[in-house]
Amino acid sequence: MNGENIHIEFQKIWILFFHKSHFINTNKRIMLDYYLRFSTEEEAFQAFKEAGYTSQDETGKEFVISATHQVCIDVIGTIYRGGKWDMNEQGEMITIEEPVKLDGYHANVRILSGDIAENLRTFVIDTPNNLYRIFG
């Protein structure tokens, strides 16, 4: 094996290792994914606002930004598990089994450079076993 082949093999191993740890290397930049759980939507908004991750639309209404050069934010919100539905004879949707609401208000944060805002660290949870949404 020449030096170029060894370098390519090392890169493959390095990317596989860090991908499994939710660290992603693209073009020598490391991205860090965090999973956050807040008690309420209001708590989430205030935390993102304190971190500087909000903006205003043309009417002055504030919202959580989805991306900058340093961070991507995916506000998921309330997560429900299960539930069954069907259509009745009139073609209307009917609920057979209610979905179960999971605790919290959820968001995923990908840090492209730097680190997650200090005030958001208290809301970081372990990587869920069953992710509902991921960054592509």
Walk along the chain (136 residues) in steps of 10 and give the mean pLDDT of each run: 43 42 55 94 97 95 92 94 93 93 95 90 92 81
Q: Which 3 state secondary structure label does DSSP give 135?
A: coil
Please state the domain extents for the chain. Answer: 28-125
User: What are the φ/ψ torsions at residue 122 (nearest 5 degrees)?
Assistant: -70, -15
Give how far the C-alpha of residue 10 lies from the chain's centroid of Cα atoms, to the nearest Å.
29
pLDDT of residue 16: 43
pLDDT of residue 1: 46
Residue 4's Cβ-side half-sphere holds a number of Cα atoms within 13 Å equal to 0
Residue 39's Cβ-side half-sphere holds a number of Cα atoms within 13 Å equal to 3
**Angle of CA points 61, 63, 67, to nearest 5°:** 140
- Tell me how far apart the alpha carbons of residues 97 and 94 are, in angstroms, rounded to a whole number: 9
pLDDT of residue 14: 42
Overall pTM surpassing 0.75 (yes/no): no
pLDDT of residue 28: 55
Closest CA to 117 of 105, 107, 127: 107
Note the helical H segments in 1-136.
3-20, 41-50
